[in-house]
Amino acid sequence: MAFVVAIAGKGGTGKTTLASLLIRQITKSGKGPVLAVDADANANLHEALGIEVEDTISELLNRINRNIEPLPAGMTKDQYVEYRVHRSLAEGDDVDLLVMGGPEGAGCYCYANNLVRGFMQELGKNYPYVVMDNEAGLEHLSRRTTQNVDVLLVTSDASARGVRSAGRIKELVESLGLDIKKMYLVVSKAGDGTVEALREEIGRTGLELAGTVPLDDQVMEFDLHGKPLVGLPDDSPVVSAVNAIIKKTGII
């Protein structure tokens, strides 16, 4: 089975940046291929990875449910969805990407989330690593999309409120009894003195600090021009920071 890394946290805490750079380092180390899973309705992991996506699970379900894409004779809905999802995997260099996309109906994510969970378990058998970028907030935990995880990285910005939010994620994981082997905190947008200033708040969460990711002008420049973050140079401060996080958490 694959080694599964999931990333959770409130919005704006750098989940997608962290996910894309984790994938970058795993593949550069020769440990791929990686199954990347974008479980955020506001999907943008493909942009950070530089992978073109033609279809999402939710778009596929919407077409099937509206009979825009009718089922072939002799196939059940589940069988056809499984067949189409395998075909719709977006391929990059040593990375395949599965994208959930937005809700297929009036705000309903239930079926799409169930499919993501099932496909992660099934497809994960063919990959040494799965990296999952989750939606902001806590719902993916209560829906148990984030399950059977080796390492959960909980992101926070460099603020007391952000760290407290990360602590609530840990509390929910424990209250739900989710199968998550290790949890760590990652503080993003960090500057000099950030860890020291937040030390007491971090201690209250009970989360071990895996590391910090600094503000990096190159990341902002890449984002400004829509360039994939996996193209950042090896000497980028955020690349170095993610390497340190990988070593600290034993991901590679």
Of 173 and 107, the structure prediction assigns the larger pLDDT to 173
Q: Which of 244, 214, 215, 245 is nearest to 152 (CA)?
A: 245
The phi-psi region of residue 200 (left if phi > 0; otherwise alpha if psi is between -120 and 50; otherwise beta) is alpha
Instruction: State the pLDDT confidence band at 237, using cuts at 50, 70 and 90.
Output: very high
DSSP string, 141-167: HHTT-S-SEEEEEEEE-SSHHHHHHHH
The region of weakest confidence among 44-48, 114-118, 218-222 is 114-118
The region of weakest confidence among 29-33, 84-88, 106-110, 228-232 is 106-110
Over residues 69-85, the mean pLDDT reads: 83
The phi-psi region of residue 85 (left if phi > 0; otherwise alpha if psi is between -120 and 50; otherwise beta) is alpha
Could you give the percent of the chain with pLDDT greater than 70? 90
Over residues 32-46, the mean pLDDT reads: 89
Could you give the percent of the chain with pLDDT greater than 90? 58
CA distance 39 to 134: 5
pLDDT tens digits along 139-182: 656 556 566 899 999 999 999 999 999 999 999 999 988 889 99
Question: In this structure, how many other beta carbons lie within 10 angstroms of the beta carbon of residue 233?
Answer: 7
Q: Which residues have CB under 8 Å from 145's CB, separation 6+?
A: 39, 113, 116, 117, 134
Question: In this structure, how many other beta carbons lie within 10 angstroms of the beta carbon of residue 192?
Answer: 8
pLDDT above 90 for 183: yes
The CATH number assigned to the domain holding 173 equals 3.40.50.300
Provide the residue range defining the domain that includes 214.
Answer: 3-249
pLDDT at residue number 56 = 85
pLDDT at residue number 122 = 78
**Cβ atoms of 214 and 183 closer than 8 Å:** no
For the chain, what is the domain count? Answer: 1
Q: Which of 207, 232, 171 is nearest to 18 (CA)?
A: 232
